[in-house]
Amino acid sequence: MRRPGAALLVLALQACGGGDGAGTGSSPPAPPFELRSTVAARLAELPADPAPAPLEGGALEEVRGLATTAGSDPALLAVARDDVARFGPGASAALAEAARDAALSDRERAAAVDLLPAREPHGALALVGLVKDAQPAWVRARAAWRLAADGPDQTVPELVLCLRYEKDHETVVWIAQALARHANYAGLDGLIAISRAADSPAKGEADLALGALLQQVGLASTEELWRAWRGGDPDGVLPHPERSPRYVREIWAWIDRLREFQLRGVDDARFILERLDADAARALALALHEDDVYVRVHAAQSLQRMGPRGAAAGPELLAALAEPELAPHAAEALGGVRFAPALGALVERTGAAQPPGLRLACVRALGFLGDPGALPALRALQGDASAELSQAAAESVTLIDAEDTDAARRLLAFLDDPRVDPASSERALRSWLYARGATAELERWDALAAPANTVEKPEETRRRRAERAALLQEYLASLGGPGGPPTAPR
């Protein structure tokens, strides 16, 4: 699928609210937001390693023979590694080919993986290539195991992407450990899921991995580690190693892919970038200035999905409110990264004089920002003539103030409103129940969820939502006041 022309995207962004981003009357005009070829400049400063020349003839056969020799006697592995080093970077491709060769014995293929120089750029890349798509799964797991022990930080982005597609539990466990070696905990969700799966053959390995990670960071529980990673490590309990130039170049290479025509490349890039840490956030903050509209919009979206780990980009996102195409996306990202200094600017841009798309983005962002100072403006918008804006305002109020039952009642009216996305109100109401500690109601709510991996028929969705609405009405009635929802604005 090809992307639309840049002019069409600009028009579409303006239609959804990409106005001038200026404040209401009393505020001074924002300084111009400079656009430039940021990505190209950064990649030029960080040249890539040259591709090694492939081995040919006798040298190629000799390297493959070393895998056979080491496979026949593991005691010869150290000697074989010294011999591999004599052939230089080109040996890595030959060893990776041997590791993939189904005609070789499993011991020979394992030896080929073990002979790859994991600490060297060419060897690390060959190992990542094996983790991505080698067959059978044990080859991928062994390559990830090597990287968990010796891999350099430049492998982190590609390994994060492997998490998106990998189905083998043992491989996931070793990918997670290879990432954690460099203080990236994107694999933590996978480790927790495998640890909780009683029927997983890798459950024991996942348990051991989680224990090792907790010991490394000095935390008592996986929940603490998960919260620290997802929350941007506000208490500084996680390690933050200095990154190599190769790691930084990998970040910029993936940012560059945000301009691609093919959606697969863009989706993969966003998957990676939103699972990195403050180093990537700082690069994405600079990429907000990229003169390609696709790059800067996708950079803002990636920051939003990073959550508080993207807080380092807060100042640039705030400045980006002055860039018309970017403003709505920057606004939502400011909420996503929880950038508290953005409160005033976001509230100001909820005013009626602002473009509709920007108003909506700011209303949503204020809910995630979580500052009670936004409540007066949000409550005033709950009765707005725009159903979408009214819904977003009520959702944001419930996120900020769990004691506000009126906002929850308003959201009930949107569960069957065709003008809005009812699923959005469902998510907000579930969060509201959780924030209130309504455990019994939350369990009943979750019991009404659609079965996993199924596609509901429209009538089934409507029935389920009606049952959830009845549950909420019953709960609200128990709190006092009117039990039914107010009528949504028309």
Residue-level pLDDT at 32: 82
- Which helix (DSSP H) or strand (DSSP E) does residue 78 occupy? helix 77-86
Residue-level pLDDT at 30: 61
Tell me: do 178 and 195 sit in the same domain: yes
Q: Is residue 486, in this structure, part of any structural domain at all?
A: yes
Residue-level pLDDT at 12: 40
Model confidence at 454: pLDDT above 90: no
Residue-level pLDDT at 330: 98
Q: State the residue range of the domain holding 309.
A: 242-381
Model confidence at 480: pLDDT above 90: no
Tell me: do 376 and 475 sit in the same domain: no
Mean pLDDT of 213-230: 96
Could you give the angle at the alpha carbon of 234 between the alpha carbons of 298 and 156, nearest 5°? 50
Tell me: do 308 and 433 sit in the same domain: no
Q: Is residue 232, in this structure, part of any structural domain at all?
A: yes
Omega prior to 4 cis, within 30 of 0: no
Confidence of residue 482 (pLDDT cuts 50, 70, 90): low
Tell me: do 365 and 276 sit in the same domain: yes
Mean pLDDT of 326-355: 97
What whole-number distance in Å separates Cα of residue 164 and Cα of residue 162? 5
- Residue ranges of alpha helices (H) inside 134-262 are 137-150, 156-165, 169-180, 188-196, 203-217, 222-230, 245-256
The pTM of the full predicted model, rounded to 2 decimals, is 0.88
Model confidence at 146: pLDDT above 70: yes
Tell me: do 201 and 250 sit in the same domain: no
Least confident of 20-24, 51-55, 257-261, 304-308: 20-24
Q: Is residue 437, in this structure, part of any structural domain at all?
A: yes
Residue-level pLDDT at 19: 38
What whole-number distance in Å separates Cα of residue 311 and Cα of residue 338? 7
Confidence of residue 2 (pLDDT cuts 50, 70, 90): very low
**Which of residues 215, 238, 261 is at a domain's end?**
238
Distance of CA 204 to the CA centre of its chain: 27
Tell me: do 217 and 338 sit in the same domain: no
Model confidence at 478: pLDDT above 80: yes
Total domain count, the chain: 3
Per the DSSP assignment, residues forming a β-bridge with 290 are 36
Mean pLDDT for all residues in the chain: 91
Tell me: do 373 and 258 sit in the same domain: yes
Q: Is residue 315, in this structure, part of any structural domain at all?
A: yes
Confidence of residue 16 (pLDDT cuts 50, 70, 90): very low
Residue-level pLDDT at 27: 56
Mean pLDDT of 73-101: 92
Tell me: do 439 and 486 sit in the same domain: yes
Residue-level pLDDT at 3: 47
Tell me: do 366 and 451 sit in the same domain: no
Model confidence at 200: pLDDT above 90: yes
Contact in structure between 236 and 217 (CB atoms under 8 Å): no
Q: Which residue has the higher pLDDT, 39 or 24?
A: 39
Tell me: do 175 and 212 sit in the same domain: yes
**Which of residues 191, 216, 238 is at a domain's end?**
238
